């Protein structure tokens, strides 16, 4: 299945971003909620203590400032740590119109307005306060959600805010508690005076906190919703930009002509793509080589066909022109020979090209080598008999090898046919089949002219015919090329040598599957040094 790298990256990056953002958002939501709760709790505690101090001073005789100074304010000890955290960050001031600043929190606040001093400050505070009282909106927003109660030990509920219920918020006298009451869940801070006569409950509805947290979360979600498409677009563009080399490569490849196998340039390309291009380039190189090989083969083959064609045409023209019946008969005989030779050559060429291109030639089965050799000898013996050549088969192995039947037949036929062609009349050909360690050896020895050891390499070249034998036998120069190809396909070894009959010795070593060593069969197709393989 195909897929788009760009889409895959976009989808995976976006979903990863979403998950990570979700987790972060949730944890920041939680910590915001805790922070908000802490802040509000501290505020509650502060309010409670302010009220207590106020009430204390109202109930007892004496001026508030004195009372403060005597340090008789009871510090709520319910949640000392929490209060400690926020105490330094909260402050209050109680101003009287006549007497100025009456009461303030432990943290001495900065003057509201620096350049207004003394009594003037009091008057100013009052004026601003008067203005803000007229602005109801501010107070109304949270009015119903904040409440206080003042309970006396003896007289019950002394004082409460409009929003507070008439029953006690809680029975706790100190510290924080959460209570279900009218309007839902309330956070209550309770504080009592030193004697325990009075208890003040300051309450705050959960809704205030939820609302604030919700607002913060809402903002986060909104940011995300707006940011997500922008992020997607940016990711899309960045990926697109990063993938430019791929589309350039694609363009360069589609615009290529079939014959253009020049390597692609790897300059200025990302390291991730360089190996791909290197692999492509090496493939191009191999293709180029294969094409060159094909081209040369076609050229060679057509050149090889030109000479017999020329001979054919010349003989035809001689036959047509001559009045001499004897010359005409000779020419016709030669024409027949030429046609036969060309048919043989065409057949060899076809064989050669089929070996590489037709897959059924590559299917291998277990074959008894002996029966194949006998089959070929049976077919070719009449040819040898015509030349009075004695053919002898020495069978010393009955091994089975894994090979393609047709190819094996062509291989054996080419070697034996070659021996018959080049062996002069009244000569000898010996064919051996023997077990050799992990191999089966097929050896064909003849009493022909042989090949000089220094000419082995040359003789294995395509279309090469040796001078000494060229005119004696009408070979095509393709026989050994075909043999070598088939030998390579079967991982066998091929070598030439000097025969015990003083002619040519051709040896093929097939790997024997039954006695296969642990190591893989050698794929080498080579020639042995002269004399080294002389049969004993």
Partner 1 sequence: MRLLLVEDDEILGEGLSAGLKMEGYAVDWFTTGKLAEEALKTNLYELIVLDLGLPDIDGMELLEELRTRKDETPVMVLTARDTIADRVNGLDGGADDFVIKPFDLTEVCARLRALARRHEGRSTPNIVHKGLILDPASHIVSFKNERVDLSQKEFEILSFLMGNIGRVVSRARLEESLYSWDSDIESNTVEVHIHYLRKKLDPALIRTVRGVGYIIDAEEG
Note whether 38 binds partner 1 by CB under 8 A: no
- The closest of 494, 517, 492 to 402, measured between CA atoms, is 492
The strand ranges marked E within 66-130 are 93-96, 100-104
- What is the closest distance, in whole angstroms, from the C-beta atom of residue 291 to partner 1 in the complex? 18
Q: Which stretch binds partner 1 (CB under 8 A): 1-9, 126-134, 188-196, 325-333?
A: 325-333
Q: Which long-range contacts (CB under 8 A, 24 or more apart) does 303-308 make?
A: 304/345, 304/463, 304/476, 304/477, 305/342, 305/345, 305/346, 308/338, 308/341, 308/342, 308/345
Distance CA 528, CA 351 (A): 27
Cβ closest to partner 1, residue 338 vs residue 487: 338
From candidates 277, 389, 444, 466, binder to partner 1 by CB under 8 A: 466
Cβ contacts of residue 455 below 8 Å, gap of 6+? Answer: 466
Q: Which one among 223, 307, 365, 371 touches partner 1, defined by CB under 8 A? A: 307
5 or 309: CB nearest partner 1: 309
Considering the rule CB under 8 A, would residue 303 count as an interface residue with partner 1? yes
Nearest residue (CB) to partner 1, 319 versus 525: 319
Of the candidates 395, 488, 501, the residue with the CA atom closest to the CA atom of residue 440:
395
Q: How far is the CB of 462 from partner 1 (least distance, A)?
A: 14
Residue 389 near residue 423, CB atoms below 8 Å: yes
Position 452 contacts partner 1 (CB under 8 A): no
Q: Does 311 bind partner 1 (CB under 8 A)?
A: yes
For residue 133, how many other CB atoms are within 10 A of its CB?
Answer: 10
Residues 243-282, one symbol each (x = binds partner 1 by CB under 8 A, - = not), give ----------------------------------------
Q: Which residues contact 508 (CB under 8 A, 6 or more apart)?
A: 411, 415, 441, 442, 443, 483, 487, 492, 493, 494
308 vs 521 by CB, closer to partner 1: 308
Determine the interface stretch with partner 1 among 13-21, 131-139, 224-232, 298-306 (rule: CB under 8 A).
298-306
Segment near partner 1 (CB under 8 A); pick from 247-255, 274-282, 439-447, 465-473: 465-473
**Using the rule CB under 8 A, is 470 a contact of partner 1?**
yes
Q: Report the C-alpha gap between 45 and 203 in whole angstroms.
A: 10
Q: What is the DSSP string of 230-279?
A: HHHHHHHHHHHHHTHHHHHHHHHHHT--TT--PPPP-TT--TTTHHHHHH
Q: Considering only 34-42, 152-160, 220-228, 321-329, which stretch makes contact with partner 1 by CB under 8 A?
A: 321-329
Pick from 69, 155, 306, 519 the residue near partner 1 by CB under 8 A.
Answer: 306
- Is 207 within 8 Å of 182 (Cβ atoms)? no
User: Smallest distance from the beta carbon of 464 to partner 1, in angstroms?
Assistant: 9
Q: Does 473 bind partner 1 (CB under 8 A)?
A: no
Q: What angle do CA 22, 216, 236 make, to 5 degrees?
A: 40
Taking residue 94's Cβ as centre, other Cβ atoms within 10 Å add up to: 17
Select the residue interacting with partner 1 from 47, 205, 213, 315 (CB under 8 A).
315
Q: What angle do CA 49, 53, 55 make, to 5 degrees?
A: 115
Is 462 among the residues that bind partner 1 (CB under 8 A)?
no
CB of 493 to partner 1, least distance (A): 28
Q: Contact between 504 and partner 1 (CB under 8 A)?
A: no
The percent helix, strand, coil of the chain (3-state, each to 5) is 55, 15, 30
CB-nearer residue toward partner 1: 267 or 425: 425
- State yes or no: residue 317 binds partner 1 (CB under 8 A): yes
Residue with tokens 């022909």: 448
Tell whether residue 329 is a contact of partner 1 (CB under 8 A): no
How many residues of this chain bind partner 1 (CB under 8 A)? 29
Q: How far is the CB of 469 from partner 1 (least distance, A)?
A: 9
Interface characters, 331-350, with partner 1 (x: CB under 8 A): x--x--xx--x---------
**Which one, of 433, 427, 418, 348, lies nearest residue 380 by Cα?**
418
Q: Of the listed pieces 5-13, 75-83, 220-228, 330-338, which binds partner 1 according to CB under 8 A?
A: 330-338
Applying CB under 8 A, which of residues 141, 321, 368, 534 lies at the interface with partner 1? 321
Cβ proximity to partner 1: between 465 and 490 the closer is 465
Strand partners, 511: 439
Among 145, 209, 465, 505, the residue binding partner 1 under the rule CB under 8 A is: 465
Interface residue with partner 1, options 119, 327, 350, 529 (CB under 8 A): 327
Q: How many CB atoms lie within 10 A of CB 41?
A: 21
| Choice from 313, 346, 366, 529 touching partner 1 (CB under 8 A) | 313
Paired tokens of 429: 């050909």
304 sits near partner 1 (criterion: CB under 8 A): yes
**Least Å from the CB of residue 345 to partner 1:** 12
Give me the residue label for tokens 């030439």: 496
By the 8 A CB rule, do 482 and 463 touch? no
Selected binder of partner 1 within 203, 308, 449, 497 (CB under 8 A): 308
Minimal distance, residue 483 CB to partner 1, in Å: 20
Residue found by looking up tokens 């839902």 in the block: 184
* Residue ranges binding partner 1 (CB under 8 A): 303-304, 306-315, 317-318, 321-322, 327, 330-331, 334, 337-338, 341, 465-467, 470-471, 474
């Amino acid at each position: 299945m195909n897929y788009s790298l760009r889409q895959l990256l976009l989808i995976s990056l976006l979903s990863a971003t979403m998950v990570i953002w979700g987790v972060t958002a949730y944890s920041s939501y939680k910590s915001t909620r805790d922070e908000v709760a802490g802040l509000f709790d501290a505020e509650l505690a502060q309010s409670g203590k302010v009220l207590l101090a106020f009430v204390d001073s109202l109930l007892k005789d004496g001026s508030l400032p004195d009372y403060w100074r005597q340090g008789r304010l009871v510090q709520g000890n319910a949640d000392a740590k929490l209060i400690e955290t926020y105490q330094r960050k909260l402050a209050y001031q109680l101003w009287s119109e006549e007497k100025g600043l009456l009461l303030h929190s432990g943290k001495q606040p900065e003057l509201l307005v620096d350049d207004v001093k003394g009594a003037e400050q009091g008057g100013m505070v009052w004026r601003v306060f008067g203005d803000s009282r007229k602005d109801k909106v501010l107070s109304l927003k949270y009015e119903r959600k904040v409440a206080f109660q003042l309970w006396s030990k003896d007289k019950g509920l002394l004082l409460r805010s409009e929003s507070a219920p008439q029953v006690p918020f809680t029975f706790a006298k100190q510290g924080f508690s959460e209570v279900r009451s009218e309007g839902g869940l309330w956070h209550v801070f309770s504080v009592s005076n030193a004697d325990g006569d009075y208890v003040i409950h300051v309450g705050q509805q959960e809704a205030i906190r939820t609302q604030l947290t919700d607002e913060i979360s809402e903002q986060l979600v909104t940011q995300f919703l707006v940011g997500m498409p922008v992020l997607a677009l940016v990711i899309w563009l960045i990926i697109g930009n990063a993938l430019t080399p791929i589309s350039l490569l694609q363009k360069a490849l589609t615009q290529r002509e079939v014959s253009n196998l020049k390597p692609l340039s790897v300059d200025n390309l990302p390291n991730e793509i360089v190996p791909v291009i290197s692999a492509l380039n090496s493939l191009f190189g191999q293709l180029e080589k294969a094409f060159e090989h094909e081209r040369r083969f076609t050229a060679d083959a057509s050149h090889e066909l030109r000479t017999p064609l020329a001979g054919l045409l010349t003989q035809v023209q001689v036959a047509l022109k001559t009045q001499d019946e004897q010359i005409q008969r000779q020419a016709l005989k030669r024409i027949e020979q030429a046609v036969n030779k060309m048919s043989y050559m065409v057949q060899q060429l076809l064989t050669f090209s089929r070996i590489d291109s037709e897959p059924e030639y590559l299917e291998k089965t277990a074959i008894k080598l002996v029966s194949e050799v006998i089959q070929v000898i049976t077919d070719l013996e009449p040819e040898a008999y015509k030349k009075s050549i004695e053919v002898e088969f020495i069978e010393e192995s009955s091994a089975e090898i894994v090979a393609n039947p047709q190819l094996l037949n062509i291989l054996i036929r080419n070697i034996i046919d070659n021996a018959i062609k080049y062996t002069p009349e009244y000569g000898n050909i010996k064919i051996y089949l023997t077990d050799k360690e992990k191999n089966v050896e097929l050896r064909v020895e003849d009493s022909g002219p042989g090949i000089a050891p220094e000419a082995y390499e040359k003789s294995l070249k395509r279309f090469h015919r040796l001078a000494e034998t060229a005119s004696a036998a009408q070979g095509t120069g393709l026989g050994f090329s075909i043999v070598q190809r088939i030998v390579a396909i079967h991982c066998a070894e091929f070598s030439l040598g000097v025969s015990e009959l003083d002619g040519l010795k051709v040896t093929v070593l097939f790997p024997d599957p039954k006695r296969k060593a642990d190591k893989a069969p050698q794929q080498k197709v080579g020639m042995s040094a002269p004399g080294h393989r002389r049969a004993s």
